[in-house]
Structure 1
Amino acid sequence: MKLALIGLGNAGGKIVDELLRHEAELSRSVVESAVAINTARVDLARLEQLPSESRFLVGQTHERVKGHGAGGDPDLGASVIRSDQAEIDRALDRVPPYAVDAFWVVAGLGGGTGSGGAPVVAEQVAARYDPPVYGLGVLPSESEGGRAALNAARSLRSFADAADNLVLFDNAAWQANDDSLEAGYARANREVSTRIVRLLSAGTVDGSTLAENAMDASDINRTLSSGGVSTIAYAETADPSAGGRGLLSRLAGNGDADTDDGADPATVVSGLIREAVNSRLTCPAAVDTAERALIVLSGPPSSLSRKGLEAGRRWVESEIESAEVLAGDDPRENADVLSAVVLLSTVTDVPRVEALQAQAVDAKETIAEQASLRESATNDLITDDDDQLDPV
C-alpha cells in the first residue's frame, strides 16, 4: 500500500518522522509522500527525517499564533488551519494522488493544533481527492490532565466523522513507570510505527520475495471501509527456522512472543497470531466487537506456514464472530524475526474512550466553575467595598 502521510501538530509530525525512519530501517516502501503541518516553528525544526520543503508552518500572520503554536486550544488550531488555506493547499500540492492508495492524517488529540486541525484537514483532503482518508489519533494519558482529555474527546467525534476510519493509539496503555516524558513518547512512536509499517507494506512491490497469499491495498481498504474506530495488534518472535528461541518481552507486554525450539511451523504461526490479539492493542478494546479483521504475517519465507496462517485466521474469525477476516503473508529474505500484525476494524467497545469522555465532562465542568470563580474574585479585587468609586 502506498501512503500519503500528513502529520498535524507536534505529535503528528513526530510520528510521521518515526514512520519514515522505521520504513528505511526495514527497507520497506510504504510512504509515497509525507508532510508535516504545524503552528509552532520550533516543533517543525525538531523533525529529522522530513526534508525542510515538506514542513509547513501555518498561522504565521495570526495575531494569537505567530509561529508559536495554538497553546492547547483546538478551536484556535481549527481556525488557523481553515484561515491559512493557501499554505494547506501548498502542502497538499506535494502529494501525487495518482500514486497513492490512501491518505493518512496523523495527530495527537490532546493538544491544540492536532486535535483541532486533523478533522479539518481530513475533510479538506476527502473533498479534494478520491483515495480514502484514514486517521491515526493518539489519545492522551490521564496524567496529561483534564484539558488534554477534553480536547481529545471533542476532537475524537469530529475526526472519526471526517475520516473513513480512525485508528486509535492510547498513550496510557503504553506508559512505563520508569519512562521519562521524552522517552515514553519516543517509545510509543516506535510502537505505532512498527505496526503501521508492517501492516501496510504487505503486497508492496519493493524487491522482496512475492507473497504466496498476497495482500494488497484493496484488502486493507476493504477492511477499513466499515468506518468507525480501529485498533492494531502485534507480536513477534525470533525466526524459528534459524533455531533461535522466542523472544521474551523486551518491554513488559509489548507483544513479543515466546516459542520453543523445534516447534512445528504451523503451531508457531497460529500461536503468534493469538499472542498478537491477546497482547496489548494500540488502543485496548473488546476484540469480539470488531466487525472486520486483517492479518499480515511477515518474516523469512521458510517460516511462513500457510497452514498456520489459515489456523490463525479461523481463530480470529471465531473470536470476532465474523467471516470478514482476510489473511496474507509478507516474505522478507533477510528478516531475523517472524511477526504477526492484526488490524481489528470498527471496534465498538473501547473502555479508554469511555473513560476519556468521563474525564472530559468533569474537566469541562471544572473549567467552567473555575472561570466563574475567577471572574467573581477579579471583580471583588478591583471594586471597593462599598462600590463608591466610579471607573474612569
Structure 2
Amino acid sequence: MDLAAVQNTQRAERWDKGIKIGEGTFANVYKAGKEKATGRTVAIKKIKVGEMKDGLDMTALREVKFLQELHHPNIISLLDVFSVKQNINLVLEFLDTDLEAVIRDKSLIFQNADIKSWTAMSLRGLEYIHRSGVLHRDLKPNNLLIASNGDLKIADFGLAREFGDAGSKMTCQVITRWYRPPELLWGSRHYSAAVDMWSIGTIFIELILRVPFLSGESDIDQLKKTFHAMGSPTEEDWPGHTKLPDYHEIPGYPKNPWWNMIQSIGRDGQEFARELLRYDPMARPAAREALAHGFFTSLPRPTPSLNLPKPLAELRPRALAPDETRGKPLTSGGTKRKAESPTVERHRSVARKLFA
C-alpha cells in the first residue's frame, strides 16, 4: 500500500459513519457519529466514483473545488477530503435540518420576521458566492441547510460554475425546475447571476405560502404555470425574449397582480418579490442590491437565528443535486443535456490538483 493510500485510510479512521441523511445516483450523505478525537458531529458525503462512466466527473470536482475555496458563515464548511478505494469522501460540518423540512412542518408557525431572517441569510451567502465569481445553479429549500443555532447555510455545489466571461456558453439544464427561471426554460446558454436571484424569489414566496409557488411537471408546463400566475411576458417587459434558442409561442395569459397572494408579507415584501421575479434577467437586482431593499429594514426586524422555529423530527434522507453532464433523466422529468462535459483527461488533471 502506497503512502497516499495509508494516509487516506488513517483519515477515514478519524470518523464514525452513522445514519444516511441524503442520497443520489452518485453520492450518499451520512451523519457521522462523532469525530473520534474531538467528539464533533460531522456529515460525510460519499461520492461513488465507481458508479460513474468515465471515473471522477466534473460535478464531484466542482463541489470539492468550490467548497475548498468558499468560506462564509452562510455556506456549509468542508472539513476534510479523502479517498477510500473508488469513493471520494467529503467531510462537512453537520447541520440539523433544511429549509424544506421547516416549510413542510405544519406544526411550525412562521412570522414575517422569520421569513426575513431566512431570506437575508440566503442572500448574504449568495452575495458572497456571486462576488467570488460563482453561480450556484441549484438553489432550492432542501439545499439551504440549518444549523443547531438557527444559522442558514447554502450547500450542494455540484452544479455550481464559475462565470464572468460574457462569451462563455453554459448548459441551460440546471436549477431544479420549480426554481428555474424562464430564460433557462427557453434555452438560454449565456446567462448571469440573475438565474440564482429568480430561485431566491420563488423560495421566498414558498416560505410565505408554505407550498411551492410554481410547480410544473415539464418545462412547457413550468412556463405555462409561470405565465398563468404572472401573465405572459411582452417585448416591453422582457426585450429580446423571443430570440432565445428554444423560444416557442405560448398562448397569451393576462397580466395578474400575482403579488396579492402574498399580502400577509406586507407591501415592502410584495415589492421585494416583484423585483426578484422580473422576467427580464437584466432587471432583477443583484444579491447585494436585494439585501439593501427596504423590506429588511422595515418592521418587524429579522428574527435572531437562535429564535427561529425548527422542526423536531429526525432528519430523513433527502435527494441530492442531479448530475448535469450525463444526460440522465431527472426525478422531476426532463433530460439533462451534455453541454459542459469536459474530457476524461481534463477530469484527471483537475483531480490531481484537488487531491494532491
Higher relative contact order (CA 8 A, sep 6+): 2
More strand by share: 1
TM-score (norm 2): 0.28
More helix by share: 1
